Amino acid sequence: MISAAFMSYIFVTAFTPGPNNLMALTNAAKFGLRRGVTFCLGVLLGFLIDMSLCALLTTALYTSIPKVEPFMKGIGALYMLYLAFTVFRDKKTKQKKAEKDILNPSSMFTGAIMQLVNVKVIIYGITSMTAFVLPNAKSSSGVILGILLLSIVGFLGTLTWAVFGSLFQSIFTKYHKQTNIIMALLLVYCAMMVLK
């Protein structure tokens, strides 16, 4: 199950820019590493749920992908555009209020729930399960290992972006509006790539 192609695929997918990584970077830059890690832990929880669902439903989805794929892409792209709008309109004065709000972009809940509509993660899970995990897993423990590996590598990718955001927090704070515009544009780009 653990081949060079599999590891290359999951590392490239997990560490390249996407909604999770951009939100982790933005949250850590805005709220600090602790809040960024909180979001990343939510992402890990969401990954575990998503990868488990992908493992359970891959066979059924595999035959229905032509019908399901546009719907998943549309919802994912809309959510990414919503996140882009949220990042773009953010103001420094709203920070303290946002830290207490469970639906704010830096909460653990948001990190977990956004995985349910994150097309990149869903495609990552379906592709990994279909191409690498299920064909090579000899037992249910092999599938569980695949779920854990996919989730942990995804979490490490997001955490890396959060650390980067916290290291450059002073730059992001100084250039708050410019940073928000760049992050929002990158999220819009991710949404556009999903709809391709």
pLDDT in tens, 141-160: 988 999 999 999 999 999 99
Q: Is pLDDT at 195 greater than 90 in this prediction?
A: no
Which residues, in sequence order, are CB contacts of 144 under 8 Å at separation 6+? none
**Domain-by-domain residue ranges, the chain?**
4-195
* pLDDT single digits (tens) 155-175: 999 999 899 888 887 777 788
pLDDT at residue 101, rounded to an integer: 46
20 with 80: CB under 8 angstroms? Answer: no
* pLDDT single digits (tens) 69-117: 677 667 666 766 776 787 677 665 444 444 444 446 668 888 888 888 8
C-alpha to C-alpha distance for 118 and 121, rounded to whole angstroms: 5
pLDDT at residue 157, rounded to an integer: 92
Total Cβ atoms within 10 A of residue 89: 10
Q: Which of 56-60, 68-72, 104-108, 135-139 bottoms out in mean pLDDT, i.e. has the lowest?
A: 68-72
Q: Running DSSP on this structure, what letter comes out for residue 115?
A: G
